[in-house]
Structure 1
Amino acid sequence: MEFTVIGHWGAYPETNEATSGYLIEHKSSKVLLDCGSGVLSGLQNYVMLEDLDTVFITHLHADHIADMYSLEFATLILMQMGKRTTPLDIYVYCKDLTKLDFCYPEYVKVHPIDLQATVAIGDMTFTFSENIHDVPSCAVKVSSSEGKCLVYSGDTGYCQSIIEFSRGSDVLVLESSFYNVQKGLNNGHLTAGEAGDIAALAQTGQLILTHLPHYGDHNQLVMEASSHFDRQIQLAYCGMKLTI
């Protein structure tokens, strides 16, 4: 599997960058995890929009879904131009899909994320786990036919479920919204130390810190995570690529 960070910022994008968005490619399949602000523009550096198979949205906060409706219009135009031949599948984790503002069901097929279900796309399978957050939010596990596994946390507070869900993963892409000194500020997000603790308990192969704050020294996040986790830790950045 090929993993590309399209956007990694929390809340809003820095200049010419993006909030949450991650491209997964395996053989001919191309899947986007979250579609936040700035993601649609950045995504086109790596994949043609007509070749995108599926999008998974972990929750409805704007920094994870802001560009989704623009992608719907792009899909409409590409299909009308004959560049895309099939509708785009979008899986969303929320309580009520009818409250979403998608307008063109003939071009975009919207599905609820079922925590008990497995979604197969090409030679990959996608499974899901409930997080702690102030709106319904889920983590996503991507498993390849070769036995490799990546877990993306979405937004979450510290909880046993993300530890169990991530156990034995090759790569854990875990939000790190806060520095340790801010622990307890928001129960729906993680400090870097908590992220490292989760990675250690899950015995993941390597940790990527993402959903980063717009202040402080991000190298401190790595130091704080490394006090719990002694394997490889990397900071996500726009354009980061990893082969799993």
Structure 2
Amino acid sequence: MTGDPLRFTVLGSATPYPAVDNACSGYLVRGGGARVWVDAGTGTLARLQRHLRLDELDAIWISHLHADHTADLLTAYYGALYADVRLTAPIPLYGPPGTADRLAHFLTHTDTRSPVESAFAVEELRDGHRVRVGALTLTSRAVAHGIPAFALRVEAVGRSLVYSGDTAPCPALTGLAAGCDVLLCEADGPEPPAGTEKVHHTPEDAGDTAAAAGARRLVVTHVGRSLTPRQAVERAATRFGGPVAHADPGVTFPVG
């Protein structure tokens, strides 16, 4: 479907818990007829259903296993197996090592392990993992978050979207984002206390990463509660000369 352009819709961009009007991290990426749910933070499943049903997804991609990026996988499991959804096959789910066992740990309430593989066909990510989902090419790189975590590059019809997930600035993300049309980058807030490992971008870091990668547009997301979205945009713009926007919930951004 060459007439179906690459784009993403913000299902939620709040952290570390949902706001009244904003779910946690989650995005619906579409292009060429393919539909991928990228991160499944609290509240995003409800927002996803404004656009499609679970059984209309082509894949799910998860950056890391913190709850503000994965919690709605638990309710998606029940929806996929025990409600009105009728899957013809388990939904492909690309996630960090241990994803299936982590889900099963939360979902198992008897001596019998919950059949998470009946809902999700889990494939573990690794650095450099690449997969085709319909017309979309998904490439993952390991990034610096203190736990197994990945950034994502989505390419279709000559366009490219890069999503940072949660990470400190690192060469892997900059390289993955090289020349991308849109960099969707977290901008969590202040610098960590002295002596503490850095695991997030500040807004200035997001601008620096976008500039170093030669991105054409920057969209900041996952803005911590110490900042307003406007403040995050203004601070990122001091380091990046291209267009900068905030990932407002419900907004659909064209890529390219």
TM-score, normalising length: structure 1:
0.92
CA gap of 1:46–1:230, structure 2 versus 1, over 3 A, is same
- Structure 2 residue identity aligned to 1:167: A
Instruction: Name the residue aligned to 1:56.
Output: 61
How far apart in 2 are the matches of 1:27 and 1:163?
26
Matches within 5 A, 1:138-217: 138-144=150-156, 146-178=157-189, 182-185=190-193, 187-217=198-228
Instruction: Name the residue aligned to 2:20.
Output: 15
- Structure 2 residue identity aligned to 1:13: P
SS at 2:219 equivalent: strand
How far apart in 2 are the matches of 1:96 and 1:215?
31
1:220 is the counterpart of 2:240: no
Please point out which of 120, 124, 138 is paired with 1:112. Answer: 124
Q: In 2, are the aligned partners of 1:193 and 1:227 still within 8 Å (CA)? A: yes
- Structure 2 residue identity aligned to 1:110: V
**Aligned pairs, number:** 238
How far apart in 2 are the matches of 1:82 and 1:221?
39
1:2 is the counterpart of 2:7: yes
- Structure 1 residue identity aligned to 2:96: Y
Instruction: Name the residue aligned to 1:124.
Output: 136
TM superposition shift of 1:132: 0.8
- Structure 1 residue identity aligned to 2:118: E
- Structure 1 residue identity aligned to 2:171: Q
User: Which structure 2 residue ranges, 5 or more long, are not aligned?
Assistant: 1-5, 108-113
User: Which structure 1 residue ranges, 5 or more long, are not aligned?
Assistant: none
SS at 2:205 equivalent: helix
Q: Deviations over 1:181-226 (max 9, x none)?
A: x223460011100110000010101000000112333322112111
Q: Deviations over 1:81-139 (max 9, x none)?
A: 57432211111113574343263222321110122331100011101111111211110
Q: Deviations over 1:118-177 (max 9, x none)?
A: 110001110111111121111011011x11100000000011221111010000000000
Q: Deviations over 1:22-59 (max 9, x none)?
A: 10111321101100000111111111222011101110
TM-score, normalising length: structure 2:
0.88
CA gap of 1:64–1:25, structure 2 versus 1, over 3 A, is same
- Structure 1 residue identity aligned to 2:135: D
- Structure 2 residue identity aligned to 1:111: E
- Structure 1 residue identity aligned to 2:87: R
Q: In 1, are the aligned partners of 2:80 and 2:86 still within 8 Å (CA)? A: no
- Structure 1 residue identity aligned to 2:192: G
1:94 is the counterpart of 2:94: no
How far apart in 1 are the matches of 2:118 and 2:191?
46
Instruction: Name the residue aligned to 1:136.
Output: 148
Q: In 2, are the aligned partners of 1:60 and 1:94 still within 8 Å (CA)? A: no
CA gap of 1:96–1:213, structure 2 versus 1, over 3 A, is closer
RMSD: 1.7
Instruction: Name the residue aligned to 1:44.
Output: 49
CA gap of 1:170–1:53, structure 2 versus 1, over 3 A, is same
SS at 1:106 equivalent: helix
- Structure 1 residue identity aligned to 2:28: L
